[in-house]
Amino acid sequence: MADVLPLVEARLRSALGEPDARAAVTFLGTDRIEVLRFTEGDVVRYATLGMSAQPMADPTAVLADPVKGPRAELVLSVRPGVADTDKVLRPLAVLAASPQVEGLIVAPGASLDVGGALWPGAPFTSVLVAESGGLVEDLELDAPADPVRFLPLLPMTPNEAAWKRVHGAGALQERWLNGGTDLRDPSRKSVPLD
């Protein structure tokens, strides 16, 4: 199978424009993960590149299939200037490496915790994985490979993450919608959860 990463980067560029910055992180025993930054008007988007190089495998499987299995990259959108959001590069790379390191399958509705603030002073320590197909279209690969999905990440406060564990992702997204929550605000407060 051909290397999918040039195709993934081409899809990101066609959807988001030219990246104005990129950084790479390599964790021991994993493939290199890059994070590309795209700036458009009043929104900065950070997209991972490298997570989709291998399909995510079920951690209980004896052997990982080298071709079949879900593939994804992560996309985070925030408003610039309010916080030092460029420091999110390492936490994003950690999340993108989690399928290789921890055997996780990252899918919509999942919570991913970074174990600290997403960036200095951020009120968020985790993200909710949203459905793909909106901002960046899924990238179809030759059969039998699964398509690459570009999964938006929605930052969650610790209270929101705890509430989501009890009530589910759909209920939290409904709260955000009903509350008119600006999920791109890097310093927003938790949505009312009572």
Tens place of pLDDT for every residue, the chain, 194 residues?
Answer: 458 999 999 999 999 999 999 999 887 777 889 999 999 989 999 999 999 999 998 767 767 777 888 999 999 999 998 889 999 999 999 999 999 888 889 999 999 999 999 999 999 999 999 999 889 999 999 988 899 999 999 999 999 999 999 999 999 999 999 999 999 999 999 998 87
First-to-last C-alpha distance (Å) of the chain = 50
pLDDT at 2: 54
Strand order from edge to edge, sheet including 21-25: 21-25, 33-40, 43-49, 71-78, 148-156, 126-129, 111-113
Predicted local distance difference test score (pLDDT) of residue 127: 97
Radius of gyration for the alpha carbons in the chain, expressed in angstroms and rounded: 16
Confidence at residue 82, expressed as pLDDT on a 0 to 100 scale? 80
What's the confidence (pLDDT) of residue 1?
45
| Cα–Cα distance, 194 to 191 (Å, whole number) | 9
> Quick check: 114 and 94 in contact, CB under 8 A?
yes
Question: Do 68 and 55 meet the contact criterion of CB atoms below 8 Å apart?
Answer: yes
